[in-house]
Structure 1
Amino acid sequence: MNFLSKTAVIACAVTLLSGCDNRPDKTLSPPAGAKWVDVTFRVPEGITLQPAELLYRSAQCKSVRYNSSNEPHDIPGYNDIERPFGVSDGDNIRRLRVAVDGGGSCQWQLNSLKVSFRISDNVELVKGKEVIDTSYIFDFGDYGLSDGYGTGRAKVFSEKILVLNTDLFPMVFINHMFKKTTLKFFGGDTNYDKWGRRYRLSDTDSIYLHPSVHINKPVILESPISLPGNINALYPDGSREDVPNISPDYDKLLSMK
């Protein structure tokens, strides 16, 4: 279930409990002097950039949540928006300008920004596989997105400009036990902070995403046909090794780029 689906489920629950007349005004109207953040994404060949997903929260327009004892408590209201990047203006550069101060009657504040992309459908490697998005998440406040996007824990960043150049390799996972083959990018095990793709921003006003995609150097993981057994990785140079936690050796991949 993606970000928008999850928030839609929450919205339905709140609507049933509080009634349609209590829906907040989700119109954004950034005030004069509002803080903005500019996102620049250089799209490599073979990549499809998805619309950005924005989550705004409001302390003025609250929502009601019920705990396990069915007791209500207020939480900041939410406002989820999809926003496409602008058309390429040369060198496959796409840009997006996002208001941190969303304004409006609810005084919406940007809480989280998610930028996602995937291997394009016309790439030969995609055929017969379930393709999974690769994401970066940028948090501007509390009550952000869930941790279920494979980006790792948020790293604190307070400088004006954030530049991210991640080396990414296609990773095919052949899961014999579930009879499913998935495809996504691998840029290091995000359980380690140094390879994480989530940031907690405070004063940042420019984000530059320039991923380096090694589309012709996939790593192929294969599960055992039955348990017990180990997951085996086939690297672009033809070498093999057993790997833990469905994560190949990123340093080894980097030596082959």
Structure 2
Amino acid sequence: MVKPIAPLKGNTGALRSAFVLGALFFSLSGCRQDYSLSPPTDSEKITVTVKLPKELKTETMWVMYRSATCKSIGTGASGQRTERDGHHSVYKELERQGQSDLYQVELPKDGGGACRWHLANVTFGVEYADPARFGESVTFGVGGGVVVIFDDNNSPRGGANIKVEGDLMLKEDYYPWVDEEFLGAYKKTINLASKGDMYLSYRAMQARIVYFEPVLHSEFLVSSAGPKEKKKGNHTTFTYPDGSVVADGRSKPDFRKLQAIRLAAEGK
């Protein structure tokens, strides 16, 4: 809220100056009085659905709205004043649909409010529900994430690798990847290895339905162990489901190799 200016007794010039400064401050800050979302009842909805494998759980969804009305004011490297669209984040849990394996959330495209918010992007994904099943003190690491951008801006995780026309329907293969790191503090994580980055990014400006089906190939586990000594030529060693061991400088598993091992085992 904009605070009222206290009366300035016996000083009309000061009062006038304070009023002008207050008006200027208000104009520069846009709708500073109310940044809240207030979606209209007839707002078009975007539905995000995840088909969840039994070993995984959904992550909390990060939803970002943007506003060209309420600017975010900052300072550039040279001290100059900068302006960019304001942003407003909310966090949503996807809700299970009955007793099915479908989890869903509906998001208003028009965020409304004095700032005229619009839905800009969402970040969501899946992770292991019980990392400890892979060993004591094992935690979830990375993988299984999706970013969908609905406007011309980048998301907090950058831009999009793929542009999609219409609705976005994703079905992706994932493999369990257990990684051990020895340099610095020891840690062991369970990750989800996929074909791309740990967050798959899409720009889908016309999408009204986003469907994500992660297919988890639990029986094809790949493990890796980082070097114990920081020395030239020491690389992370990967052990694949067929028993092959590779240390070729990669920082994550060879997805094509994993696919080939699985397809050969399945006789495809």
Q: Does the TM-score normalized on the shorter chain lie above 0.5?
A: yes
Give the letter for the 2:197 counterpart.
T
Where in structure 2 are there 5+ consecutive unaligned residues?
A: 1-27, 263-268
Q: Does residue 148 of structure 2 align to residue 138 of structure 1?
A: yes
CA contact (8 A) 1:119 1:126 kept: no
Q: Does residue 183 of structure 2 align to residue 177 of structure 1?
A: yes
Give the letter for the 1:77 counterpart.
G
For residues 196-211 of structure 1, what are the structure 2 equivalents within 5 Å?
Answer: 197-211=200-214
2:115 maps to: 106
Match of 1:211, SS? Answer: strand
Q: Could you say which structure has the larger radius of gyration?
A: 2
Match of 2:120, SS? Answer: strand
Q: Does residue 174 of structure 2 align to residue 165 of structure 1?
A: no
Cα distance in 2 for partners of 1:73, 1:122 equals: 44
Q: How much has 1:31 moved relative to structure 2?
A: 5.3
2:60 to 51, 56, 59: 51
Give the letter for the 2:108 counterpart.
A
For residues 7-46 of structure 1, what are the structure 2 equivalents within 5 Å?
Answer: 22=32, 24-30=34-40, 32=42, 34-46=43-55
Q: Deviations over 1:186-229 (max 9, x none)?
A: 102439xxxx7110112111111111012232211112211121
Match of 1:253, SS? Answer: helix
Cα distance in 1 for partners of 2:220, 2:136 equals: 16
Question: Identity over aligned residues, as a percent?
Answer: 21
CA contact (8 A) 1:221 1:246 kept: no
Q: How much has 1:24 moved relative to structure 2?
A: 4.0
TM-score normalised by L of structure 2: 0.78
Q: How much has 1:46 moved relative to structure 2?
A: 0.9
Q: Deviations over 1:8-37 (max 9, x none)?
A: xxxxxxxxxx99x946422232352x3321
**1:122–1:223 CA distance, 2 compared to 1 (3 A):** closer
Q: Deviations over 1:93-136 (max 9, x none)?
A: 11111112111221101111111221112651163223125310
Deviates further, 118-127 or 80-89 = 118-127
TM-score normalised by L of structure 1: 0.81
Which stretches of structure 1, 4 residues or longer, exceed 4 Å deviation after superposition? Answer: none
CA contact (8 A) 1:88 1:94 kept: yes
CA contact (8 A) 2:160 2:203 kept: no
2:258 maps to: 253
RMSD: 2.4
**1:51–1:23 CA distance, 2 compared to 1 (3 A):** farther
Alignment length (residue pairs): 230
Cα distance in 1 for partners of 2:82, 2:88 equals: 18
Q: How much has 1:244 moved relative to structure 2?
A: 3.0
Match of 1:91, SS? Answer: coil
